[in-house]
Chain A
């Protein structure tokens, strides 16, 4: 079965610093991979997705993620953190390629320091 591991339940960065949120997955087939963001008292919003096209995926709000098959990773980055980026971030993988069920990581709460 698929699984997703997000390293670091809490990450703090200074405003203007690089944001790096880690996600590793287990998969025996090429997966579909997603990053979602959740602001307080809101649902999850899709940031970006990888569906076997370009390995570097650009999303909303200046975020991007790179699919690295050799490392089974899909880390989320942003060159310069903004206060408004403070939220919880979830990595998800489709259970098997082309199916509906997503397996979510346990989330990483990003704190941005002024």
Chain B
């Protein structure tokens, strides 16, 4: 597609429920990234995909968080048993290559609210 597409744009969920956030990167972009943006804070790295593999999962906050990528394209970030501290904007980005020189292209994010 023309840009990075994320869905849903907004999600309100009850504490303890599971949620899935979807990211559709730019066609041909091999690298995909998930970041979390909490109110008043910068962006927190969560996970990086190169193709379908995730060489760096170091930013995932707990084992309630997982992500996968299939077909070298769409990625899903899953949060199990959501907690109020999971409320944030989850941003997905993609890039043509993984050497960091081109900068990322970001989606518009999913605003997650846990009530």
Contact = CB atoms under 8 A, between A and B. Distances in A.
Interface in A31-68: 32, 34, 36, 41-46, 49, 51
Contact of A42 (B33, B40, B103, B108): B108
B42 A100 contact: no
B109 to A, nearest CB: 6
Given A90-B42, A106-B42, A101 B103 contact: no
Interface residues of B, number: 28
B42 A102 contact: no
Nearest to B98: A100
Contact of A32 (B4, B42, B100, B107): B100
Nearest to B95: A100
Given A100-B31, A102-B45, A43 B91 contact: yes
A102 B100 contact: yes
Interface string B39-66: 0111101001010000010000000000
Contact of B100 (A90, A98, A107): A98
B101 interface: yes
Interface string B71-102: 00000000000000000000101010011111
A49 B103 contact: yes
A42 B110 CA distance: 10
B105 interface: yes
Given A92-B43, A101-B48, 14 more contacts: A32-B100, A34-B103, A36-B106, A42-B109, A43-B93, A43-B106, A44-B93, A44-B106, A45-B106, A100-B95, A100-B99, A101-B56, A102-B104, A106-B40
